[in-house]
Structure 1
Amino acid sequence: MSDPNERYRTGMATRRSVLGDAHVDRAGAAITDFDADFQAFITETAWGSVWSRPGFTLRERSIVTIALLAALGHDEEVAMHVRATRNTGATPDDIKEAMLHVAIYAGVPAANHAIKLIKAAYAEMAAAEKTED
């Protein structure tokens, strides 16, 4: 996939399927001249090149991504990708197992902190589902 326009379109489709239209629309509405190139870059590379590859399912990519973000302490991104699990198929049990790996390979404090964030994200998702019913 060498055409950057095709990579962007593929990336945007994948980004929307993982994060949801509402999230991507909010992010798009916040783009300014300052970060427009950055947003195009992450859409093309993270979403169009990596997340769109055939080697892993979206569920597997979701699990790996959450584990990496937890290990690196990227709090907002952890919560965002936990919310995205409703679109990727990664289950709470999947994420629980990933946190055990984070604890062993990145440290118990990183996993402990991420678990707090993940529990809060799941609680937020459950509350939102109740208000939708």
Structure 2
Amino acid sequence: MDQEKFDKGLETRKAVLGDEYVEKSLGKATDFTMAFQEYVTTYCWNDCWNREGLDRKTRSIINLSMLSALNRPNEFKVHCRGAVNNGVTKDEMREIFLQIGTYCGVPAALEAFKIAQEVFDEMGV
């Protein structure tokens, strides 16, 4: 493992998802799953999220769209929180979810609104 890339990815991961969530994920890692935590932190959070081509807010918008289309509610919830941390507003999320309804279907949009409301309530947004 490249420690420098891991550390940079960890910094980004915590900035987007929050220290508590990331520390909990890492703390629950076992000998079996730690390799995946290292992979996600290095590859996703450093090699992808730290690229210069898009800002974090844009990456969050893209993630919300893709995770909704793929019907990944657990990751959607995590990235909904990250989107708030990256400056995506409730009004912007509403528009994203309406767009999801058009291209991914009403059930996908309904789930997006439901999960986002839970996150807003938890975060006091």
Please report the TM-score for the alignment, with normalisation by the length of structure 1: 0.85
1:92 pairs with 79, 82, 90, which one?
Answer: 90
| CA deviation after TM superposition for structure 1 residue 19, in Å | 0.8
1:55 to 41, 53, 78: 53
Q: Does 1:123 find its partner at 2:116? A: no
* Alpha-carbon distance in 2 for matches of 1:96, 1:47: 26
Distance 1:102 1:36 in 2: 34
Residues 15, 43 of structure 1: 8 Å contact kept: yes
Q: Within 5 Å, give how 1:1-133 maps onto structure 2.
A: 4-126=2-124
- Aligned partners of 2:92, 2:51: CA distance in 1, in Å? 21
5+ residue gaps, structure 1: none
Say which SS state the counterpart of residue 56 (structure 1) adopts: coil
1:71, CA displacement in angstroms?
1.4
Structure 2, gaps ≥5 residues long: none
Asked whether the 8 Å contact 2:26–2:34 carries over to 1, the reply is: no
Report the CA distance between 1:36 and its aligned residue. 0.7
| Local SS of the residue matching 2:47 | helix
Aligned-residue RMSD, C-alpha:
1.6
Alignment check: 8 A CA contact 1:69 1:78 kept:
yes
Distance in 2 (alpha carbons) for counterparts of 1:71 and 1:6: 33
Compute the displacement of 1:5 (Å).
2.7
Alpha-carbon deviations, 1:2-44, whole Å to 9, x = none? Answer: x833221211111011011111111111010110111111111
Q: Which deviates further from its counterpart, 73-82 or 38-47? A: 73-82
Give the number of equivalent residue pairs.
125
Tell me, yes or no, if the aligned pair for 1:100 and 1:111 is still in contact at 8 Å. yes
**AA of the residue aligned to 1:77:** E
TM-score, normalised by the number of residues in structure 2: 0.90
- Distance between the aligned counterparts of 2:2 and 2:103, measured in 1? 36
Q: For residues 70 and 6 of structure 2, what CA distance do their matches in structure 1 show?
A: 27
